[in-house]
Amino acid sequence: MSEPQEMTTPDHSELFHPSESIVENSNVMAYARSKGLSSYEALYQWTLDNNEEFWADMANELEWYEPWTKVLDDSQKPFFKWFVDGKTNIVHNAIDRHARSWRKNKLALVWEGEDGTQRTFSYHALNREVNKMANVLKSVGVKKGDIVTIYLPRIPELPMFMLACAKIGAAHSVVYGGFSEAALADRLADAQSKVLITADGGFMRAKIIELKKIADEAMSRTPTVQTCLVVKRTGHDVNMELGRDLWLHELMGLPIASAECETEVVDAEDPLFILYTSGTTGKPKGVVHTHGGYMVGIYATLKMVFDMKEDDRYWCAADPGWITGHSYIVYSPLINGATSIMYEGAPNYPFPDRWWSIVSRHSVTILYTSPTAIRGLMRFGEAWPSRHDLSSLRLLGSVGEPINPEAWKWFYGVIGGERCPIMDTWWQTETGHFMITPTPVVPLKPGSATKAFLGVEVDVLHEDGTSCGANEDGLLTLKRPWPGMMRTILNDPQRYVDTYWTKLPSMYAAGDSARKDEDGYIWVIGRLDDVIKVSGYRLGTAEVESALVSHPAVAEAAAIGLPHEVKGNAIHAFVILRATFEGSPKLEDELRSHVGHELGPIARPDQITFVSSLPKTRSGKIMRRVLKARAQGLPEGDVSTLEE
């Protein structure tokens, strides 16, 4: 079993102050001064008192084809609308306006393959590529309002196809390249995609991930798919089905793939993408985001929190397949006119200093990553980063789960040379952009995402909706709408209402537990629903369980997350076998692989225990909290509803 994570009780009084020059030169204080305000606290209060003016200011820094008539329409709560009647396209702000300014010659994307290959794109080049791809999409029949599913490795074609879809008004549904065929098939079916974009394969630690093969299996279960566009990355032999599968490079050489393409004018509220995320049931939720509000929210947060400046070299080391990548690798850096770095492979390939070598070779100034990656690299020791000149760094960021103070201090000291503030950003697939986060002018407490972003109102509540006292555990909530908020769940608006808007009186229930300390700093504790964060990835216990029971040997299963030193949480599954099967290490291995095959390698349980019964309530609900307590040797708490 994995070692329990060392949990130092966070020290609520330890404060790290930003330097005067950081404060002085920050984008956020420049904005405060433009409002005649001299402190960040005063600015925050101003953004609450003048909420619509604040978001309108941010929106006015971008270009619109037609102005909005109303900033916020809350008449159909919780189906909020932002920038009502505004006409735009996120791609206009991400590419078009830069490609016709001096920025056309600025690097938009610097990509490094795991094998050391480099591909770079100026805004001009990116525009051409995206236009060509948009024309390819049109040529295979993609229209405004369609949902195109994208299943690609971490190569430039991934962001470029997202942009190409958005450009022509089609929504994209990106399925993370680490997911397996069942996960891909479910998402294809839910989105009713007619077009799937994949690659022959991807590289991870020099091994080929057989994406096309997985896509073939998924497509055999989803008859809606008529066309599959295939990007050549690995060059190994793959099956190409006549009449369905087309090589992208062949299409890109044809006259249909012209480098000119008009950007479609869309409504601010038109869908930009669907991104599936895990929740309480086995069926992932198709979170819907739109062009207008999302564009404004991600633009403002990156600008203010990561203090984006024209000469920055920004690297968000996540995968574009998750919300972090959608918002802060693909769209927001481009909207901000930034140069951003993207890396294909594993952080420790070929050696544990790969990331530090990237930072120094590309002179990265801002590095945004996750606690699990930091803990993973920390394990190899200080010698690896110390071989590289990391002095270009000026700001660091963390996302995905609470960062333990040990990892925070290592990141701050060893990587940031005690000079770079760490932006610990709390947000969700559903929120679209940062909600609780410092800006570079906020004194930091290691392990706390600090306070609400400008214009955002956060609280910690009891179940009856009253506020918790200082340091009391409660439900994390967002008390007013924000522009980048999800609009609904695809095909299931009722689930949107039930999941987020009924647990607390007319407020957004985030599904996290948290506490607020005496200084108003928020400390996120963890998920309250049946979601496990493994290496920052979000997995539903029900998804793991249904993968397990799809194996012929398994009668019933329960999955829980237990603390893990690097991953944050590791999955531990309890399995009741069917009568003719007997538990053995071999079967345990087989079940682990089975889950990996069904859902993807990240979902493989670390441990499987064969049991003869599971603790349940009288209504038959598995009490995972009891399993968790037992597995950790902790008191079981209130078990009055236990059936046994």
Site residues (vs ligand WT7, CB under 6 A): 277, 323-324, 399-402, 424-429, 449, 510-512, 524, 527, 533, 538
268 vs 449, beta carbon nearer ligand WT7: 449
* Pairwise CA distance, residues 337 & 589, whole Å: 48
Least separation, in Å, of the C-beta of 448 and ligand WT7?
8
Closer CB to ligand WT7, residue 89 or residue 569?
Answer: 569
Q: Give the shortest CB-531-to-ligand WT7 separation in angstroms.
A: 7
Catalogue the E-assigned strands of 338-426. Answer: 339-343, 366-369, 395-398, 422-424
Q: Which is nearer to ligand WT7, 130 or 436 (CB)?
A: 436
User: Is the CB of 68 or the CB of 408 nearer to ligand WT7?
Assistant: 408
Closest distance of CB 501 from ligand WT7, Å: 16
Query: Whose Cβ is closer to ligand WT7: residue 366's or residue 591's?
Result: 366
Cis check for the bond before 350: say yes or no (omega within 30 of 0): yes
> Looking at beta carbons only, is 384 or 426 nearer to ligand WT7?
426
Dihedral of CA atoms 32, 35, 39, 42 in degrees, nearest 10, equals -120
Q: Which residues contact 170 (CB under 8 A, 6 or more apart)?
A: 137, 142, 143, 144, 145, 146, 147, 148
CB of 428 to ligand WT7, least distance (A): 4
Residue 144 φ/ψ, nearest 5 degrees: -50, 135
Give 432's Cβ-side CA count (13 Å radius). Answer: 28
Closest separation in Å from C-beta 307 to ligand WT7: 18
Least distance between ligand WT7 and beta carbon 62 (Å): 22
Minimum CB–partner distance for residue 436 and ligand WT7 (Å): 7
CB of 77 to ligand WT7, least distance (A): 22
Q: Which two tokens stand for residue 73?
A: 């329409």
Min CB(486)–ligand WT7 separation in Å: 10
Compute the distance between CA of residue 100 and CA of residue 128 in angstroms, rounded to an integer.
12
Structure tokens at 628: 């968790």
CB of 67 to ligand WT7, least distance (A): 30
For ligand WT7, the closer CB: 127 or 477: 477
The residues that bridge with 204 in the sheet, in sequence order, are 207
Which CB atom, from 46 or from 434, has the smaller least distance to ligand WT7?
434
Distance, in Å, from the CA atom of 303 to the CA atom of 334, rounded to the nearest integer, reads 11
DSSP 121-153: EEHHHHHHHHHHHHHHHHHTT--TT-EEEEE--
Two tokens at 294?
A: 């999302």
In the bound complex, what is the minimum distance in angstroms from residue 18's beta carbon to ligand WT7?
Answer: 18
Q: Are 211 and 234 contacting, i.e. CB atoms less than 8 angstroms apart?
A: no
CA 189 to chain centre: 22
Nearer to ligand WT7, 26 or 425 (CB): 425
SS3 554: strand
Tokens, residue 298: 């991600």
Give the integer Cα–Cα distance in Å for 411 and 11: 17
Q: Which is nearer to ligand WT7, 98 or 564 (CB)?
A: 564
Comparison of 129 and 512: residue with beta carbon closer to ligand WT7? 512
Buried b (16+ CB within 10 A) or exposed e, 327-364: bbbbbbbbbbbbbbbbbbbbbbeeebbbbbebbbebeb
